[in-house]
Amino acid sequence: MSTRLTGLRELAGIALFVVVAAAIPLVSTSGVTLNFLMMALYAALLAQAWNILGGFGGQFSFGHALFFGTGAYIQAMSQLNGGINAWAGLALAVAGSAGVGVFVGALSFRYGLKGSYFALVTLAFAEVFRILALSVPFTGGGVGLMIPLRESFTNMQFGSRRGYVYLVLGFVTAALLITWWLKNSRFGAYLQAVRDNEDSARAIGVNPFRIKLGAIAISGGLMGAGGAFYVQVFQYIDPGIAFGPVTSVEALVAAIVGGIGTLWGPILGAVVLHMLADITRNMFGELPGINLVIYGVVLVLIVMFMPRGIGGLAATVRSLWKQHGKKEGRHD
């Protein structure tokens, strides 16, 4: 009963989050505010995608840009070369990225790769795809691809940041609901059992290969949605942006800083890191790579002093507060 109540509270929390985030563009017309909200939600989407595989599945990836870039290029090429509507291109981008996830997962998990080996495999695949994107003509090579600006809902291009905020909010809401489902479903329980002890999970009848394959497909699909969103906002993609390390680092660090394997950790991590990025940008100007330096420092501090992330720290403080309240009640 308590588990069911917790699940209902989490659903209520998701609903409240969506309402508050959706209300901000209605009460604020500031370009700075809307841009911050859009980019924070975008980072939260990437972090939540990584969290499904890395946090709930225990399969740490160093190359999640592989799925991001796949989605971004499918989104761009479907419009430029296939004449496909942007919304249909989004569906193809999500499906294609999930398919790449299944491909990489089938190769990796079939041979028992996990831990640092799996992390390096994903990094290697991202680099292979980057080189392929540089080499083949239909991706535009090193020049990249630029989609024309035709502002309309049909083309998934909006005249202000408000439209993009609602678009990415829809993606984040879907990611939150999927994460909530993982926390409360049998599949999610199997996935966490595989994460904690694969041999024990196998002993009770769980098929680790299929469970991990499902997790990487979901994670890849959400990451592909992030890539498609990026293309629609900036109308441009090239191999360095699509498959470079920056996106992988952003997704990984935001999830770890916020708290992996949690519902709200990636959201917290994304907001905190984007606040830090804005502060350092104002303090140090446009120094190249300063955000990655800050990310690295924050990650080291989090690992050293808050291994469970910001979300884990909040849960610890809440637990201590409840224990303190019980002690006070007994004294009374």
CA distances from 198 to 57, 93, 226, 306 (A): 10, 31, 30, 26
195-204 burial: b if 16+ Cβ within 10 Å, else e: beebeebeee
Q: Which residue has the higher pLDDT, 56 or 331?
A: 56
- List of residues 6+ apart from 196 with CB closer than 8 A: 58
Residue 332 predicted with pLDDT over 60: no
Question: Which three-class secondary structure state does DSSP give residue 25?
Answer: helix
Strands (E), 106-265: 145-146, 236-237
For 1-23, write each residue's pLDDT tens digit.
Answer: 467 788 889 999 999 999 999 99
Task: Tell me the fold of 2-331.
Answer: ABC transporter involved in vitamin B12 uptake, BtuC (1.10.3470)
CA distances from 173 to 21, 44, 226, 248, 309 (A): 10, 10, 13, 21, 22
Specify whether the CB–CB gap between 74 and 202 falls below 8 A.
no
Question: CA 64 to CA 106: how far, in whole Å?
Answer: 16
For 86-123, write each residue's pLDDT tens digit.
Answer: 999 999 999 999 999 999 999 999 988 988 999 999 99
Query: Pairing between strand 145-146 and 236-237?
Result: antiparallel
pTM of the model: 0.91
For 159-192, write each residue's pLDDT tens digit.
Answer: 889 999 999 999 999 999 999 999 999 999 999 9
Mean pLDDT of 23-48: 94
